[in-house]
Chains A and B, each alone.
Chain A
Amino acid sequence: MNVKVTDKIATIIFYTIAIVITLILVGLLSFILVKGLSGISWGFLTKPPENMKAGGGVGPQIFNSFFLLFLTMLFTVPVGIGGGIYMAEYSKPNIVTNIARLVIEVLSSLPSIVVGLFGLLIFVQKMGMGFSLFSGALALMIFNLPLMVRITEQSLRAVPVEQKEASLAMGISHWKTIVSIMLPIALPGIITGTILTAGRAFGEAAALMFTAGMSSPPLDFTNWNPLSANSPINPFRPAATLAVHIWKVNSEGLTPDAKQIAASASAVLITCVLFFNLLSRLVGKLIYKKFTAA
């Protein structure tokens, strides 16, 4: 065959691939939104789920998802940023750094169900925390830590070396340079990455089934005592998140409207994840503008 014809055919094939992938995404999103949005009402977003009859909502699950996300980030961000600073600034080319790098790689490729099972063994059983938001947050921390470390490291490495050197040349200590000069410059990258990490944690289910549990106690949203069993902000109560709830409804849902609930809950979940995605872009752009316009 003529080489030019082959070239044309190849080009057409590449275009087809690009179009097919785009269509898959459009199909996925419109399927979820079309099927799901019709079932979304104020009641669906606030009411607790029903066990047997139709008409239940996902109110507590939505709350659980956000609360768990908050707890997870509370654990992940400080440790992740600390680890990232070590990798970018303090690591020397020695065996410890090599091990650390390997550990981060291994952690980031762990199947989420393995993390969940480890959480079941250690946090739920050995440490006696039971199925709770706290165990779930710790499991998600293991899941998100490598990402957070990598994001911080990359953002710090992207800081212009002249700025770091200028600070060091003025006699400012290495730590002070990191905290007052480099971290502010790296902040847009870190924040964008953190929001993306949050989106990932928000949709995670396999790691949570065995740690945060698959059910929620009846919640009393007027009770804000963090130690009482039916208080929404008690971190030691079991809590099914939105993603876990979708799985549960699909595989063992007994209500007649299980399909519709799964579709609507998926639509809510997707909307939240898209929102996180959008937010990270927006925030990244805004902060970038603020720091470069000066």
Chain B
Amino acid sequence: MIRTTRENDKVKDVSSLNAKYYDTKNKIVASIGKYYTYSCIFFSIMIITFLTYFIASKGLSTFLKDGVSLFDFLLGTEWKPEHENTPKFGAFAFIFGSFAVTLLSVSLSTPLSVGAAIFMAEISPKSGSRFLQPVIELLVGIPSVVYGFIGLSVIVPFMRNTFGGTGFCLASGTLVLTIMILPTITSVSYDSLKALPGGLKDASYALGATRWQTIYRVLIPTALPSILTGVVLGMARAFGEALAVQMVIGNVQRLPNSIFDSISTLTSILTLEMSNTIAGTTYNNALWSMALILLLMSFIFIFIIRILGKGSKLNER
């Protein structure tokens, strides 16, 4: 009897020791794990901090160190960075090009995208999810250089034959971007239409409204903030797209007279000239200033999306 009790005690002792051992071990592993996830997020925050700091310090040195006036840079139309005596750093033509191609493509793409979203959500959910959804997903997957290549071999010759000129023009860039941002706007709009409470639609139908009346009097107005979020996301993508646009717009460095004129955008200039310049020169810094504009624009887009998100009634759920 006595012996067994002792043995039992011993067993208990060992197991409690074990438990304690595993307990501390688990606690250590758990806290290591926890702090690992913290450090991952901290890492992301550091990336964006560094990125902003370095691009800003490079981009601002054009104005602070090299003495180019901000006014001349933003509104000057002469870009002669390598002129011997009086180099000119007017980037207005590129800024204009970026905005023109973005706004045109968004205004073309939005009706198509919202239409596609309504088709998937309201008109024919069955063929929508079977055909159109995969189509949209595949469109997202096509790499931008492939869009550029197709633009180069289909849209540019088409423009050349139909409207004359070289075919490398603002309109070609617009068409390529229209297709590229279509999936972004469509999927965000579709999600927002899907998230609407079903009662809204039923109430409208019960009042005798037709499907079209329900869509444009009830569903679209209610989902508008989220649809606009999709549009802004599309704009952000169009504004920052580099290669696909660069390949079809002709890269002529002046203001266009019509949409069939060649243009340059901020991204196309960066693509073509960044590797030809020497770090530290005013020319190089001016290019970094353009990168800073791209960065600031993407901050502004996020800011707009945040405001839209606050205005959305859907978020109050």
Contacts and interface: CB of A to CB of B under 8 A. Distances in A.
Interface stretch (B62-70, B206-214, B254-262): B206-214
B44 A149 contact: yes
Interface string A136-177: 000000100110010000000000000000000000011110
Contact of B270 (A86, A115, A117): A117
B189 interface: no
Interface residues of B, number: 84
A120 B212 CA distance: 52
Contacts of B112: 17, 20-21
A100 interface: yes
B46 to A, nearest CB: 9
B300 to A, nearest CB: 10
Given A6-B212, A86-B38, A173-B27, A209 B240 contact: no
B247 interface: yes
B243 interface: yes
A10 B215 contact: yes
Nearest to A10: B212
B295 interface: yes
Contacts of A109: 233, 236-237, 240, 298, 301-302
B267 A90 contact: no
A24 B44 contact: no
A22 B132 contact: yes
A243 B145 contact: yes
A277 B137 contact: yes
B227 interface: no
Contact of A269 (B143, B179, B215, B274): B143
Contact of A117 (B131, B143, B291): B291
Contacts of B239: 111
A21 B148 CA distance: 18
B203 interface: no
A25 interface: yes
Interface stretch (B71-79, B89-97, B113-121, B158-166): B113-121
Contact of A246 (B29, B36, B146, B302): B146
B34 A90 contact: yes
A52 interface: no
A117 B37 contact: no
Given A11-B212, A31-B154, A83-B37, A250 B148 contact: yes
Interface in B120-134: 120, 123-124, 127-128, 131-132
Q: Which of B30, B47, B153, B213 counts the most chain A CB atoms within 10 A?
A: B47
A125 interface: yes
A180 to B, nearest CB: 11
A4 B210 contact: yes
B50 A122 contact: yes
B250 to A, nearest CB: 12
B135 A22 contact: yes
Contacts of A115: 51
Contacts of A63: none
B2 interface: no
Nearest to B214: A7
Nearest to A141: B47
A210 interface: yes
Interface in A82-113: 82-83, 85-87, 89-90, 96, 99-100, 102-107, 109-113
- In the complex, the 3 A-B pairs of residues with the closest C-beta atoms, listed nearest first: A111-B240, A203-B143, A82-B40
5 contacts: A21-B135, A109-B298, A205-B145, A251-B246, A266-B150
Given A25-B138, A117-B270, 15 more contacts: A6-B210, A18-B128, A21-B116, A82-B39, A83-B37, A83-B41, A83-B43, A86-B41, A100-B44, A107-B48, A145-B44, A176-B26, A202-B143, A209-B271, A250-B145
